[in-house]
Structure 1
């Protein structure tokens, strides 16, 4: 190895040592921060798992209380953290209340559900609308489902219009719902009966060539 190479290596080593002397504290601090971040992320992950497990346990306890007709069931559902668990538990509570002929209580339960999930909100509104129709408040049901576009929601809106004595609007809604349903859907027959009752004539789907 040439002397020039040795000098170059020595010079490079000195430069590295000099850089470490100047920046060593910052480098070590950066490594420490990196390790702390990794540790913090692991802690956060474990914390999230722990919180999820706790929420799941509280949800199960609330659902069990609903199933057992526990008088404290409503309070347990209400005490759940806002989110999907509370929404699902509230739906179970409302169902139980309907089965126990507590329609007004079920309406209150469904009205208290707050969710940002569009699909879940549609289910909640459909169930609430059906109860409002049963409670002789079909106009409220129409208003509740005014912007809904799913076949089931449109069908319920048709039920509300029919309950209001607006057979023409009911026919429009039933026909729209039929147009959104698959030909093999088991709900088609029921919808066709509703359309006929409202004075309409079901249109047979065109045969595919």
Structure 2
């Protein structure tokens, strides 16, 4: 079983830029006030560039280790990245490690890897969804339901429904699928999959009205 929706190269780049946007302003302001002057600014630029380049290099090393199936070495690299100053690379590396662990049949290790990610709040839902999918795949459906709690986004509702279906609770699952369907745009790629799940759970699907 593979973890769905791993970040592609574009999403990885966007996440790195998001981290820089979020942390850059406060760091710049702090350094400018504390050090001041052109010399301090030039030092800061060099220092931050060094951290970013170093983290990127370590991330590439982890990817190569995963490609070579050296999961234990990759796991050490992930811990190093997670303890570094550019946290986003640690998160991305952990996601890739978890996928490799699942592919190798090491589901418990993958769960531990995902649970150790200290992601920003804006990414927590996506991490929880990956954990929930893996919990379902390993038969821990009640844990998946508890983890998702009262999440109302489409992906979480769908996964919540999957867990309920696995427990044989078709009516409750159908309710989650129907809620998820209502949050999706008519042209959303996942819509047809959700419609199929609604029908498999005993429901019916009404074609959405076309906008005038």
TM-score, normalising length: structure 1: 0.78
1:167 aligns with 2:170: yes
- Hey, what's the Cα distance between the residues in 2 that align with 1:36 and 1:66? 43
1:92 aligns with 2:96: yes
Would you say the 8 A contact 1:55–1:81 is kept in 2?
A: no
Counterpart residue number, 1:44: 44
Would you say the 8 A contact 2:97–2:110 is kept in 1?
A: yes
**Aligned partner of 2:105 among 79, 101, 109:** 101
Counterpart residue number, 2:32: none
The higher radius of gyration belongs to 1
Counterpart residue number, 1:198: 201
- In structure 1, the gaps of 5 or more residues are 1-34
- Hey, what's the Cα distance between the residues in 2 that align with 1:97 and 1:176? 32
Counterpart residue number, 2:134: 131
Counterpart residue number, 1:80: 81
- Hey, what's the Cα distance between the residues in 1 that align with 2:154 and 2:208? 16
TM-score, normalising length: structure 2: 0.77
CA displacement, residues 142-183 of structure 1 (integer Å, 9 cap, x when unaligned): 111114232111100111111222222211110111111111
CA shift in 2, pair 1:179/1:42, >3 Å: same
Measured after TM superposition, the shift of residue 36 of structure 1 is 6.2
Structure with the larger RCO, 1 or 2 (CA within 8 Å, 6+ apart) = 2
